[in-house]
Copies of this chain bind each other. A is one copy, B any other.
């Protein structure tokens, strides 16, 4: 890659960036787009005044929102959204710091040193800069065995130190936020509830009775209630059908009404036919709803050996969570309950439940998913490379002969050869996240947050492996290393980092309490160690074996640092300690509203499919006059 090509690429990206920035800043001011760009405001009905009036300023792109977006403090963010949003922001801030430091060191120190070397190019000529290979800015241009390489050596050490310091700081900071958030939180159902699986139902008694007996026996003072999970896939199908039919009916009616009004005297045949259809649909819906009600009754017998068990105190739930319950470790398996709205109910009805033992079931499905995920990750590049190979310039000219004159233009051919392969890669890549989410949902995750976290981890490994492979294939490890210390990524990070509108747009579906930070930490450690290994290789290639050997302790120390962090901080992201639990429990004891909360708690974990359907009444309310009019 030559400098000119890089500059072109940067130019195109900056141009696109500016365009989208402008478009956004105009579009977001249009009242009609308010629901898109500030759904939270709309929901809170605070933005209603903005709809009035029109001014010219609305059509001018402005940058004030960027400043406003950065203004809210973490506490404001926390109070309006969730801890996850705050941790998300911390990830951006951390990344900015890391890339900022790397950028300064890279541009001001390493880049000049690289350029002043003459390993690749003996003549020292500034005039031909645009046509120079980018390699003359990389470490490959530094002379073999040169003493200047010690600057790179120091850079690696200092950079690693700075990153580790920042990681430690963030881990500690987020940990403290997590505790503070927990202390200030109101009682929430998932804090008092666990999910129990592998319930050993004895013949002659139902699952519900077994659970009730077990927990009243062993947790007489803290056990509150339970909700046995039921297989509702049939019910879900029926409810969905009813929902669809209801929507179609409402749609038809809304179409019929004006007709009805305007054509009351004439076109009676046409109108009558419509009412007939409505009538037919209404009956169908009634039938469906009867079926739903029947199924809701019969579903009571379709118990899955799993139940959400609620306790009167957080400590009670924690005890049941952390200590093995029954003598058989594969029975009475407990795990943290997700937030009620976060539960992935279809999981419990999946075909895997047909296996008799919940334990074997989960295990086999996990194995299958791991194998499928590994296969996808390893074999992904094969179809991509084949398709990319098919789309070279000559092939395109053969397929689309009429494009020949356009394709022969230098700019077009450069754009196509430069962008088309990566476009195809991006296209293929866009299919991967949905596949990973599907795999994660098969894996036995019981909540959306777990599915998304697991899919994220899968994507991470997928990306690491494929970037690695791409690198190994193209042999540009040296180049990639240099990128790591160069500021090129900053604009992209900046563009991503504008926490644009977390406050206005982001409506959290669930709150993990920042539990994804350890993943960020681990990935950073992985990148650091990868950098160290590459640095060891480069110093070796550059015939500075002393520097190579002196770099060896660095990955070891980094991994020890990681191990320290795992011990010092990771437990905080898994569970809350007795100290916290008891303090919160004692607060509750003095809270007069706790009885109301307990009432809510006992019905919090209810499969939405089991909620009585509400269409019949609403259809009756709206449509009975309509149907009467047709008679």
Contact = CB atoms under 8 A, between A and B. Distances in A.
B577 A323 contact: yes
Contact of A329 (B218, B327, B330, B572): B572
A218 B577 CA distance: 11
A323 B319 contact: yes
A121 to B, nearest CB: 46
Interface stretch (A103-111, A400-408, A413-421, A578-586): A578-586
Interface stretch (A6-14, A286-294, A436-444, A563-571): A563-571
A326 B577 contact: yes
Nearest to A367: B560
A119 interface: no
A325 interface: yes
A471 interface: no
A575 interface: yes
B571 A324 contact: yes
Contact of A323 (B218, B329, B367, B578): B578
A359 interface: yes
B582 A327 contact: no
A318 interface: yes
A322 interface: yes
Contacts of A101: none
A59 to B, nearest CB: 54
Interface string A289-324: 000000000000000000000000000001110111
A331 to B, nearest CB: 10
B363 A577 contact: no
A569 B324 CA distance: 12
A359 B567 contact: yes
Contacts of A582: 218
Nearest to A179: B327
Nearest to A329: B571
A580 B571 CA distance: 27
Query: Secondary structure at chain A's binding surface: helix, strand, loop or mixed?
Result: helix
A572 B322 contact: no
A325 B218 contact: no
A312 to B, nearest CB: 15
Contacts of A571: 324, 329
B567 A325 contact: no
Interface string A522-552: 0000000000000000000000000000000
A577 B324 contact: yes
A567 to B, nearest CB: 6
A535 to B, nearest CB: 24
Contact of A327 (B324, B560, B572): B572
A589 B518 CA distance: 45
Contacts of A320: 578
A50 B454 CA distance: 71
Given A324-B571, A359-B567, A567-B359, A578 B329 contact: no
B218 A579 contact: yes
A322 B384 CA distance: 49
Contacts of A578: 218, 319-320, 323-325
Contacts of A324: 571, 575-578
A325 to B, nearest CB: 5
A18 B327 CA distance: 47
A323 B576 CA distance: 8
A329 B568 contact: yes
Nearest to A575: B324
Contacts of A330: 567-568
18 contacts: A218-B578, A218-B582, A318-B323, A319-B319, A320-B578, A322-B322, A323-B575, A323-B578, A326-B579, A327-B572, A327-B579, A328-B568, A329-B570, A329-B571, A329-B572, A332-B577, A359-B567, A363-B563
